[in-house]
Amino acid sequence: MEPRTNWMANEVASKWAKHIISSNKAITDSALPKAVQELVKIRASQINGCGACLDMHTKDAAAAGESMVRINLVGAWRETTVYTEAERAALELTDQGTRLADSGGVTDEAWANAAKHYDDDQLMALVALIGTINAFNRLNVITRMPGGEYQPGQFL
């Protein structure tokens, strides 16, 4: 697959990305567990078919110590036993928050379930994370940014 453009070399796109990345500090500095953050990024990227983001976030999760079983089973999280109830609530919110047009939005049930496991700050970090990864997924999918070359921690 050939990329349509190198958005990282484009002035407008790279400025935009720098702002989004800097806003991500509020998420990474939050009390939302790091494992949940990686699982959410992987799950949204699977739904959106973003090879570049899947490449990055599966490798970053593995480098951070996440097990290959948990990384490999994210796509079938409902049919597995390897995630906690809190992680499952975050993954459900990710599914619904990513597939807004398909499901008519996020259900009250999914929101209430997530709110049982996460305090207000963690919940807002989760919502911000879902929005952020979806933005990057769309940027990469639209420009056909391929996956496969990422090295863990490359953009730190």
| Domains contained in the chain, CATH given | 32-143 (1.20.1290.10)
Burial level of 112, CB count in 10 A (0-12/13-18/19+)?
exposed
The pLDDT score that the predictor gives to residue 155 is: 75
* One-character DSSP codes across the chain: ---S--GGGSHHHHHHHHHHHHHTHHHHTSSS-HHHHHHHHHHHHHHHT-HHHHHHHHHHHHHTT--HHHHHTGGGGGG-SSS-HHHHHHHHHHHHHH-HHHHTS--HHHHHHHHHHS-HHHHHHHHHHHHHHHHHHHHHHHHTPPPS---TTTT-
C-alpha 123: how far from chain center: 14
Instruction: State the average pLDDT over residues 26-39.
Output: 97
Report residue 116 as tokens. Answer: 């049982």
64 pLDDT above the threshold of 80: yes
Reported as a single tens digit per residue, the pLDDT across 139-150 is: 999 999 999 999
Mean pLDDT in the chain? 94
21 pLDDT above the threshold of 90: no
Separation of alpha carbons 145 and 68, rounded Å: 24
Residue type, 85: E
Reported as a single tens digit per residue, the pLDDT across 75-99 is: 999 999 999 999 999 999 999 999 9
The pLDDT score that the predictor gives to residue 156 is: 66
16 pLDDT above the threshold of 70: yes
